[in-house]
Structure 1
Amino acid sequence: MKQHSAIKVTVAALGVVLFLSHCQQQQTGTTSPEERPAIFPKGELGPAENFTGQAWNTGLVPNDSVFNTVVGNVYFEPGARSNWHRHPAGQILVITDGEGYHQLKGQPRQTLKKGDVVKCPPNVTHWHGASPAKGMQQLYIIPNTEKGIVEWLEPVTNEEYRESK
C-alpha cells in the first residue's frame, strides 16, 4: 500500500514539474527564430524595394500547374513591414508567432497575434508586418496562381504604420 502511494506522489510531482515547465515556456513568449528551434529555415532576406526593415522569407510549396498555390513562411523582425501590395487571387495569412499588423487600403489597421488567420481579398491593396516591439512570423498562402501572384506597390509610410485608423 505504501509503495502504491509513493508512486502516486511521484507521478503527481512529475505532473507539477511538467506543468511549471510549460508555464515557464508560455511566459517567455519568444518571437525571434534565434530564440527557439525553428520549424522552417530562416530563408532569404526580402528585397529592400518590397520591405521596410528586415523580413525573412522561405518558400514551402513552389508554384506549379497542379496545385496553383504558393505557400511560404515570413519572419518580420520588430518594425519590419511589407510595402503595399495586392494579389490577383487573394492571400491567406496564418500568424504562427509574435505580434504585428495588417491593413486593407482605406480600412483601420488590425493588430495580429499568434493564431490569427487573415483573408486578403483578391486585388485589394494591403500590407502586413511586425509591431515595433515584437517580431511576427506568418505562413502565407496564395491560391489560384494562374491569375498571378503579387503586384508590389509603394512603401508603407511611417505615419501609415503608426496610425491605427
Structure 2
Amino acid sequence: MKIIRGGSVPTVIASDAYFTGRVTQTPIVEAEAPARLRAVSVSFEPGARTHWHTHPLGQTLHVVAGAGLVQVWGEPIQQIGVGDTVWFPPGEKHWHGAGPQTAMTHIAMQEALDGKAVDWLEPVDDAQYGG
C-alpha cells in the first residue's frame, strides 16, 4: 500500500507546448507497472484549453468544479459541468477546457501504453474554440 498525503504533491503550471491559456495540474496517481493508470486534477482558467490530442488507451474526464467545453474532431463543441463524466475512446482526436467566461476543473484519467498516455497534436485556434 502507498498513501500519498494531500498537499504532498506540488501543483505545476502546464506547458504552453500542450495548452493555451493558464492551466495548472496536480498529479493524483501514476501507478507503477504492471498497472497503467494515470490521473491528474487539471484546472483551467476561463478561455484555457488543451491542444488537440489523442490517447492510446482512451481517457475519462470527471468535472469537479465550474463549467467547460469538449470537442471531438469533426463534431460540435459540447458543454460540460460539475458531475459530468466524459469518455474518449482510444485514438479519438479531441480537446477540452474551460468556457470563455468560466473556469473548470476536471480529473483526467488515462492509461499508459508502453509508458505513453497521450499524443499531443496542434493547438485549438481561437476560431475553433469560438465555434
TM-score by structure 1 length?
0.71
Once the two structures are TM-superposed, the CA of residue 64 in structure 1 deviates from its matched residue by: 1.6
The residue number in structure 1 matching 2:18 is 50
Q: Does the CA contact (< 8 Å) of 1:42 and 1:56 recur in 2?
A: no
The percent of aligned pairs where both chains have the same amino acid is 35
Q: Deviation string for 1:62-90 (max 9, x for gaps)?
A: 14213211011000011100000000000
Name the structure with the higher strand share. Answer: 2
The residue number in structure 2 matching 1:146 is 113
- Cα RMSD of the aligned pairs, angstroms, is 1.5
3-state DSSP of counterpart to 1:146: coil
- In the alignment, structure 1 segments of 5+ residues that lack a partner are 1-38
Once the two structures are TM-superposed, the CA of residue 113 in structure 1 deviates from its matched residue by: 0.4
Q: How many residues align?
A: 124
Q: 1:100 aligns with which of 52, 63, 68?
A: 68
Return the letter of the residue paired with 1:125: K
- In the alignment, structure 2 segments of 5+ residues that lack a partner are 1-5
Quick one: distance in 2 between partners of 1:79 and 1:42?
A: 24
Quick one: distance in 1 between partners of 2:43 and 2:91?
A: 24
Return the letter of the residue paired with 2:117: I
Higher relative contact order (CA 8 A, sep 6+): 2
Structure 1: 4+ residue segments shifted above 2 A: 39-42
